[in-house]
């Protein structure tokens, strides 16, 4: 799933009708899901959070900025929070399947369009900044809206996009790209916020002020305190007491969880607490968290237990929740707290059916689900078996030299398993689109043209899905080879079943590519798909034949042949 989060801040927190008008623009954009709207009375500011595919999120952001420019008058705005425009700031955040570079590109594309179509000066910040001094949002906001007329006259502060002209109604907008911010609290068995603050000072990046032997703060030549850095970069922290919970917490903002993830900060907090005679009782995620942050935690704690981290994501998330104590002060529901789960398509999915339900569904007198979905499911089974053999090898003393490779295999095959399961449904969806295109009216010339174009696109999509599956079977074969040759010998038959099931998946996906090709008119597309599919299957069949010899020798060739 390619997923981007966008968190625009609008300079209106009191007029509900205006806030709703902006949010309607976001919600009306196909593919986008509005997750949160947080208005502030005193700040006169609303923070909106929405997610979706990159292009859809970019479109929703533009529509929201345009609507804000129409209904917010900055010349009349008063509020406690720093601001320079109707849409003050608009960051893009990579969540899953999207790189930071792609979010920077989104920021540039949106900034160019806002400047060109709306005539609003646009500054780029954080990862999208073109100058070091513009990376920090506070530098761009310096002087706020009231100082913007003079700022725009200074060549050093000409906008990155849009005119260097003061627009009293809209002000300016800051657009950028940043990492996901996780609001994370660690719970302590004390009411004393001073003890929580002591731990916070040791964890946070800025650390604490250096003191002399008399306890006085040591200052530098500029008069500022000399700081002793804390243990984690991209971490802000403070200690406080929460009366509702009856405990003190270390309240943290993790601004780059890929460098300083929750589980490592949590583990260090445990050590710090023990030194003060305290216990960490659990932790709390405020708002949403990316799935990968919990998967990282699950893998970490499993490895700490001496177990393979190559297990299904559901198990990794369960381990993470238990290990971090995320249910300590409030229930943690993965479906509500993990951002990817909040936006995933609603079912029913074929891969969520029981084995009997799935087989029954296939057996009915309907063309879908059919051979393509079955082939993809075979691929998922082959990947699952490969992961099983790798996990049964990892941790066994006699295979200790193979542990790093088996860990890698287990992690990859779990990923491949999930990709195959996605293709189970994608194949059915693709064929259904072909059926829908065939049923389009074909009375007039325009109808005939639309039907032909739609059918061509549908057949190409119906070809690309099994072709993706065929490519996946080829990558999986390399991992099967590893467990077949170097894996736990007691599971050699399981590796053999994985080998032959994967071959069945490859042949099945190949047949589904072949059957669609005669219906495709694009000669270049057809020839490329045909050539690639033939090459992959031929290479696989040759390799499988060689691996079968190894398998039979391990099992006892005479016994296998009867």
Co-location of 438 and 339 in the same domain: no
**pLDDT value at position 43?**
83
Co-location of 535 and 422 in the same domain: yes
* Domain closes at, from 343, 376, 408: 343
* Domain closes at, from 177, 194, 225: 177
Co-location of 306 and 395 in the same domain: no
Tokens describing residue 387: 């992961």
**pLDDT value at position 345?**
61
CATH number, domain of 296, equals 3.30.70.670
| Residues 6+ positions from 447 with CB-CB distance below 8 Å | 440, 441
CATH number, domain of 157, equals 3.30.990.10
Co-location of 447 and 491 in the same domain: yes
**pLDDT value at position 459?**
96
Q: Is 425 a catalytic residue?
A: no
The b/e string for 27-61 (b: 16+ C-beta within 10 A; e otherwise) is: eebeebbbbebebbeebbbbbbbbbbbbebbbbbb
Residue 231 DSSP SS3 = coil
Residues of the chain under the 70 pLDDT cut: 345-348, 557-562
* Domain closes at, from 151, 177, 203: 177
| Structure-token match 């940043």, residue found | 178
Q: How far apart are CA 442 and CA 453, in angstroms?
A: 12
Q: Which of 88, 160, 425, 427 is catalytic?
A: 427
Give the distance from CA 152 to its chain's centroid.
37
Co-location of 383 and 501 in the same domain: yes
Co-location of 189 and 169 in the same domain: no
Q: Is 427 a catalytic residue?
A: yes
Co-location of 124 and 237 in the same domain: no
CB-CB contact of 322 with 368 (8 Å):
no
**Domain span at residue 270?**
182-343
Q: How far apart are CA 201 and CA 236, in angstroms?
A: 9
Co-location of 226 and 318 in the same domain: yes
CATH number, domain of 492, equals 1.20.120.680
Co-location of 75 and 105 in the same domain: yes
Residue 420 half-sphere exposure, CB side, CA atoms within 13 Å?
30
Co-location of 280 and 173 in the same domain: no
Co-location of 186 and 173 in the same domain: no
Co-location of 242 and 358 in the same domain: no
Number of domains, the chain: 3
Q: Which of 73, 77, 81, 318 is catalytic?
A: 81
């Amino acid at each position: 799933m390619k997923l981007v989060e966008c968190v625009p801040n609008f300079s209106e927190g009191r007029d509900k009708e205006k806030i709703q008008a902006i949010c309607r623009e976001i919600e009306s954009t196909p593919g986008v899901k509005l997750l949160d709207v947080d208005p502030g009375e005193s700040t006169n500011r609303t923070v909106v959070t929405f997610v979706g595919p990159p292009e859809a999120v970019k479109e929703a952001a533009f529509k929201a900025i345009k609507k804000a420019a129409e209904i917010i008058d900055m010349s009349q705005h008063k509020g406690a929070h720093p601001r320079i425009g109707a849409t003050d700031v608009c960051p893009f955040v990579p969540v899953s399947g999207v790189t930071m570079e792609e979010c920077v590109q989104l920021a540039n594309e949106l900034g160019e369009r806002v400047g060109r179509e709306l005539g609003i000066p646009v500054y780029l910040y954080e990862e999208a900044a073109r100058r070091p001094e513009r990376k920090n949002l506070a530098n761009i906001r310096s002087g706020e809206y009231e100082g913007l007329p003079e700022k725009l006259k200074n060549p050093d502060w000409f906008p990155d996009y849009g005119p260097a002209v003061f627009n009293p109604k809209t002000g300016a907008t800051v657009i950028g790209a940043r990492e996901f911010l996780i609001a994370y609290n660690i719970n302590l068995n004390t009411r004393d916020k001073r003890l929580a603050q002591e731990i916070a000072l040791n964890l946070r990046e800025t650390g604490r002020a250096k003191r002399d032997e008399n306890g006085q703060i040591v200052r530098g030549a500029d008069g500022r305190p000399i700081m002793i850095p804390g243990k984690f970069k991209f971490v802000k922290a403070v200690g406080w007491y929460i009366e509702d919970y009856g405990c003190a917490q270390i309240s943290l903002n993790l601004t780059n969880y890929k460098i300083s993830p929750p589980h490592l900060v949590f583990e260090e907090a445990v050590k710090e607490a023990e030194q003060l005679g305290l216990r960490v009782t659990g932790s709390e995620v405020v708002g949403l968290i990316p799935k990968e942050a919990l998967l990282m935690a699950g893998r970490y704690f499993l490895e700490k237990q001496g177990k393979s981290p190559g297990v299904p994501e559901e198990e990794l998330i369960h381990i993470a929740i238990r290990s971090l104590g995320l249910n300590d002060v409030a229930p943690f529901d993965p479906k509500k707290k993990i951002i990817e789960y909040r936006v995933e398509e609603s079912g029913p999915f074929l891969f969520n059916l029981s084995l009997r339900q799935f087989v029954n569904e296939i057996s009915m007198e309907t063309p879908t689900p059919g051979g393509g979905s079955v082939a993809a499911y075979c691929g998922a089974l082959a990947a699952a078996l490969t992961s099983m053999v790798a996990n049964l090898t990892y941790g066994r003393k006699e295979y200790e030299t193979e542990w790093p490779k088996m860990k890698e295999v287990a992690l990859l095959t779990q990923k491949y398993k999930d990709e195959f399961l996605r293709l189970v449904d994608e194949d059915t969806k693709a064929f259904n689109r072909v059926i829908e295109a065939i049923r389009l009216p074909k009375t007039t010339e325009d109808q005939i043209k639309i039907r032909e174009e739609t059918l061509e696109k549908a057949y190409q999509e119906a070809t690309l899905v099994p072709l993706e599956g065929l490519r996946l079977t080829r990558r999986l074969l390399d991992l099967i080879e590893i467990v077949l040759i170097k894996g736990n010998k007691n599971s050699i038959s399981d590796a053999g079943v994985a080998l032959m099931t994967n071959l069945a998946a490859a042949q099945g996906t190949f047949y589904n590519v072949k059957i669609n090709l005669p219906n495709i008119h694009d000669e270049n597309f057809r020839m490329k798909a045909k050539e690639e599919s033939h090459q992959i299957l031929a290479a696989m069949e040759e390799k499988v034949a060689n691996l079968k010899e190894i398998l039979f020798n391990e099992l006892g060739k005479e016994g296998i042949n009867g």
